[in-house]
């Protein structure tokens, strides 16, 4: 009275919809050399705060620990279409990337002015700006304090809207056992294959995939 069968299906998820999903990001440079990232998305277990902090840090050129994320509160964050895992990474991630690069440019310009050195002679080194070929440098902490004390705080705001849609694809393969007397179905094995482009944070991407599989099984069999 027990029979086994296999099946498969493919799916595509809309992400970064053309001219629809818009995101903005604001970054403040603090007096202690750290940064505040204001973003309108909500991290409801997807890990978006973590990944957006990673993108912000890499765009500026500082450790991730230097970024504090303030998200969700629309009273003080920039506009965002909404919080959806692929859209958040694509739309919000690109907005954060643009803002981070702009912040790096502003920091280098301020360091050039402070040190009275041409920009092309400076190098950004994680927590400091150094003068190539010499021992002269200024730390981000020192630069941040100087800018605040001179009433010249640094902040940037950038936005992003996609002109191309990069939809992720998924293929699912299931082996199930069915009790024909009771109608009970057991999922014996499930394999999911995902084509999601560049993975920013592999552990978070993996648990998102596993969570999606479990939600799909739950919807098919129980809900």
Q: Provide the pLDDT confidence category of residue 22 given band limits of 50, 70 and 90.
A: confident
Alpha-carbon distance of 197 to 84, in angstroms, equals 16
Average pLDDT value for residue range 85-89: 71
Range in 60-69, 87-96, 120-129, 189-198 the model is least confident about: 87-96
User: For residue range 160-180, what is the model confidence (pLDDT) as tens digits?
Assistant: 988 887 888 999 999 999 999
Distance CA 77, CA 82 (A): 13
CA dihedral 158, 204, 59, 157 (to 10 degrees): 20
Q: How far is CA 50 from the centre of its chain?
A: 7
Q: Are 149 and 142 in contact (CB under 8 A)?
A: no
> Which alpha helices (H) appear in the chain, and where do they start and end?
48-60, 85-87, 93-115, 140-149, 202-221
Torsions phi, psi for 21 (to 5 deg): -85, 110
């Amino acid at each position: 009275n027990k029979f086994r069968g296999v099946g498969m299906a493919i799916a595509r998820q809309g992400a970064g919809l053309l001219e629809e999903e818009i995101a903005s990001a604001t970054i403040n440079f603090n007096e202690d050399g750290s940064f505040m990232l204001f973003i309108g998305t909500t991290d409801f277990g997807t890990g978006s705060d973590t990944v957006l902090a990673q993108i912000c840090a890499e765009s500026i050129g500082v450790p991730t620990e230097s970024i504090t994320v303030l998200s969700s509160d629309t009273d003080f964050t920039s506009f965002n279409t909404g919080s959806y895992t692929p859209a958040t990474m694509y739309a919000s991630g690109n907005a954060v990337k643009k803002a981070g690069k702009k912040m790096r440019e502003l920091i280098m310009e301020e360091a050039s002015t402070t040190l009275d050195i041409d920009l092309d002679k400076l190098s950004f080194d994680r927590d400091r700006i150094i003068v190539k070929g010499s021992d002269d440098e200024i730390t981000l902490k020192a630069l941040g304090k100087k800018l605040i004390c001179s009433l010249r705080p640094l902040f940037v705001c950038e936005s992003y809207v996609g002109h191309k849609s990069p939809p992720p694809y998924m293929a699912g393969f299931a082996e199930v056992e069915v009790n024909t007397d009771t109608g009970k179905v057991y999922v014996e094995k499930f394999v999911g294959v995902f084509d999601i482009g560049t993975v920013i944070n592999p552990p978070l991407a993996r648990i998102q995939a596993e969570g999606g599989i479990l939600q799909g099984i739950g919807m098919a069999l129980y809900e």
